[in-house]
Structure 1
């Protein structure tokens, strides 16, 4: 398949599924305080509604490539949309936080198949020389979700009910199922490999124990022994998985992919950056509502600016990478992105709104360029026959780090509140959290400096001097 109208149709359908997922996540972040009041829990405890979904993604994404190879991308993509839609209905009907978490886990299983399988279709349909443009084209409609999400979420929470942030996925899902049936090609491997059941169990137990251990520790909802016990169980199980993966032909998470330099450095540096990025959608709406005293609708308008900056970037990704290359772009753009997030710690109610808007707009722009570069250069040296395994691996760590970012932010907030002897998070506590998550991303720039100067030149068109 070539870069033709058929390609654009497929990209738009896949992007529509990503739009639904991104819309859901950004609306939910804005609605957390209202949902906390409905469930009679602390707003800080609502972080579990975000991490439970991302945990489900991290556990089930490793299986997405194998399932798509065996059953065909059309069938898997269509079933994933249906499962995500069902999970949305159950989330809207949840009467307490535990039921919401269970529904989010189900929703996450659908999301775990939607995005990686869609990305796999694009990777197998487009030559490497066109991949930067293809990824940018694919992500533009998907970025409409984060742009529309915050103000729409604020409007729904303020004027209707938070439950409708889930119910609006139903018509989008039904249309997506119909479009997938009609247009998505049935891409699958020539011969499906044997499914690594043992590896799936070991990796799932490891990831879930680590994430939920960190989640409970960050909110202080259980004893330290319980949290550390879960984390230790996850680490031990993870060690068993590493041992197991070296003894099977096709492990569920193929660690041998880390031998490719661009893939390895993209995973490591991207993971550090995503911890910071994952914290922002959680911290910013809470900061605006709890720290600034804004309504959900007002905070949604403020946080929408960051997503707007991300969308504006997409037209510039290809020319920037062609001019500077992946290495220089990832180093310097990462520094600019880090500065913008650090400045969020200084936000105060007496700041002019245009100043806050400008920082968030630039932050969204630089962050989006950073992740476009990470997501593309990761596949620069990976052979085509290993795209399926690479997509599953990369997407797993991507979601795991975003989830970890929420845990780190919640932990920083909780510790600051306890340290200052407060009952609820106040504006200085959010400043502490923003500084903590920013410091983590500082390590990414030296890692990016290890990339070869001509890394991904076939994709970017850059020729180093």
Structure 2
């Protein structure tokens, strides 16, 4: 497909538009967690049962990512990107206007529909509009705001909640969204696919149903408090839909995700490793602000400030990832790093009134650094061996698995937290401590998956440069 001809102004402003959208999305994802206890108090909800607000967003994004490329090809990138920013902004406004938990969850779903289309369509435009020689520079520029969002999000969320109200964590999206809508209409090129392809609607329905049913089953053990019989029925139904999808995908021409992707060993290990290793890292942004505020009595602003070392250490680790992988290889890095990350998450069980505050900050900084290295290595090993014709489908599946694993991590953590709270007769701090122990232990099990990698892969820098890293 020949590259489109962009005028100088469009070529200059297009990366800024995509970068702003990425910043909106990552800021929203991190600013919310610190505000959950205040939101729960205002909405008359238990703060330990607010995970539905987080899961509704993550699961909706995971559901729609597989369709984003086809939608952009069918209706044009300018129209879809504009609609994505508009939906995200309207959803943000409705979140701020919500008067109860159900309204807030529905508004988050609408917000997530826009979020699911913003970044995939933005990346697609960049891939199609610029020559490959400029791609690394432009993608680095676009992903930088995504690293800044987690750095300032928790702190900003804490300050807004303490000195204004939780509604402002959503209202600050509106002026940025208005600017993004104007810029999209003015500067976003209207690109479409070279040929019209048929969307795998049946596969999309089966795969989506599997994700929803499995997530609701885990939610049923936590917030929803469903009887165990219903939880088992939902879980078995979800697994049946997943099995039906893969059996069907093996015999249709253009499935949503082809099973042939898993013939590549590094992709199969990377996808499964991402799914299980991210259970802990996905639960962490949800659990930690709650621990600090609900169990340890921190103010929202102090809890938000406490998350700065985690994000700052994650950014500092990025330049070190490649030299470490070059020296040790993917297998050694991912196996050892997974065990270390799980142990560090479990170490948060030591949190309590007797833990010095500087020690807590050091713990969070180490978790941030190790988590950042984990993401870099996992994402790169997943995509590194794919052929060019498989790259788009493989990247989409990785994005889906990342969102799904994070939502499952939050749901699992909430279920464990609820269970331990009941068992301990309301001892909230002990329930948090036991939850961190369990989540850390579960995360460590993913090390056995990464042991299946070739010990030589990644050494001497032969692999890590061949694919552009996917952030997250």
TM-score (norm: length of structure 1): 0.90
Alignment partners' CA distance in 2, 1:138 and 1:330: 26
Residue pair 2:421, 2:431 contacting (<8 A) in 1 also: yes
Q: Would you say how many aligned residue pairs link Structure 1 and Structure 2?
A: 458
Moved more, 16-25 or 269-278: 16-25
**1:308 is matched with which residue: 312, 318, 333?**
312
Would you say the 8 A contact 1:337–1:363 is kept in 2?
Answer: yes
Contact 2:86 2:114 in 1 (8 A): yes
- Other-structure match for 1:177: 181
Q: Which residue matches 1:454? A: 457
Q: Distance in 1 between matches of 2:135 and 2:453?
A: 19
Partner of 1:229: 233
Select 2:439's aligned residue among 437, 440, 450: 437
Query: In the aligned structure 2, how far is the partner of 1:52 from the partner of 1:12?
Result: 28
Aligned-pair CA distance for 1:329: 2.7
* Map 1:118-157 → 2, pairs under 5 A: 118-121=122-125, 137-157=141-161
Q: Give 1:73 shift.
A: 3.7
- Determine if the alignment matches structure 1 residue 337 to structure 2 residue 341: yes
Contact 2:346 2:438 in 1 (8 A): no
C-alpha contact 1:218 1:414 (8 A) present in aligned 2: yes
Structure 1 equivalent of residue 245 of structure 2: 241
Task: Extract unaligned runs of 5+ from structure 1.
Answer: none
Q: Give the equivalent residue in structure 2 for 1:62.
A: 66
In the alignment, is the contact (CA less than 8 A) between 2:344 and 2:440 conserved in 1? no
Greater Cα offset, 185-194 or 365-374: 185-194
| Mapped contact 1:91–1:166 kept (Cα < 8 A) | yes
Tell me: CA distance 1:191–1:321, structure 2 relative to 1, closer, same or farther (3 Å).
farther
C-alpha distance in 2 between matches for 1:101 and 1:346: 33
Correspondence for 1:291: 295
Question: CA 1:73/1:325 → structure 2, altered by over 3 Å: closer, same or farther?
Answer: farther
The aligned runs of 1:144-293 (5 Å cut-off) are 144-182=148-186, 184=188, 186=190, 188-293=192-297
Secondary structure of 2:253 counterpart? coil
- Counterpart Cα distance in 2 of 1:6 and 1:320: 38
Q: 1:295 to 1:89 in 2, by over 3 A?
A: same
Distance 1:51 1:461, change over 3 A: closer
- Are the structure 2 counterparts of residues 53 and 194 from structure 1 closer, same or farther at C-alpha, using a change threshold of 3 Å? same
Does the aligned pair in 2 maintain the 1:120–1:388 contact within 8 Å? no
Rounded to whole Å, the distance in 1 between the matches of 2:439 and 2:131 is: 37
CA deviation profile, 1:48-92 (whole Å, cap 9, x unmatched):
111111111121111112223333444433322221111111111
Which of 94, 98, 105 is the matching residue for 1:101? Answer: 105
Q: Distance in 1 between matches of 2:133 and 2:412?
A: 38
- Distance, in Å, in 2 between the alignment partners of 1:376 and 1:440 is 23
**1:326 aligned residue:** 330
The 3 A distance-change label for structure 1 pair 399 and 186 is same
Q: Which moved more, 1:265-274 or 1:179-188?
A: 179-188
Match for residue 374 of structure 1 among 378, 392, 395: 378
Give the structure 1 partner of residue 470 of structure 2: none
- Indicate if the aligned counterparts of 1:132 and 1:459 stay in contact, CA closer than 8 A: no
TM-score, normalized by length of structure 2? 0.89
Contact 1:65 1:389 in 2 (8 A): no
Contact preservation (8 Å) 2:23, 2:149: yes
Contact 1:132 1:460 in 2 (8 A): no
**Aligned residue number for residue 388 of structure 2:** 384
* 1:348 matches 2:348: no
Rounded Cα–Cα distance in structure 2 between residues aligned with 1:376 and 1:10: 26
SS at match of 1:348: coil
* 1:104-119 correspondence runs (5 A): 104-119=108-123
SS at match of 1:219: coil
- For structure 2, the 5+ residue unaligned runs are 4-8, 467-472
Contact 1:136 1:315 in 2 (8 A): no
> Once the two structures are superposed, what CA deviation does each residue of 1:394-431 show, in whole Å capped at 9, x if it has no partner?
11111111000001111111111111122xx5111111
Q: Is the 8 A contact 2:206 2:241 kept in 1?
A: yes
The more displaced of 365-374 and 224-233 is: 224-233
Choose which of 26, 35, 42 in structure 2 pairs with 1:38.
42
Root mean square deviation, CA, Å: 2.7
Kindly state the Cα deviation for residue 455 of structure 1 after the two structures are TM-superposed.
4.6
Cα displacement (A) at 1:289: 0.7
Q: Distance in 1 between matches of 2:128 and 2:462?
A: 16
1:220-262 CA distance string (max 9 Å, x none)? 5333333333223222222222232223212223332222222
Q: In 2, Cα distance between the equivalents of 1:359 and 1:128? A: 40
| Counterparts in 2 of 1:117 and 1:368: CA distance versus 1, 3 Å | farther
**Which runs of structure 2 are paired with 1:58-97 in the superposition (5 Å)?**
58-97=62-101
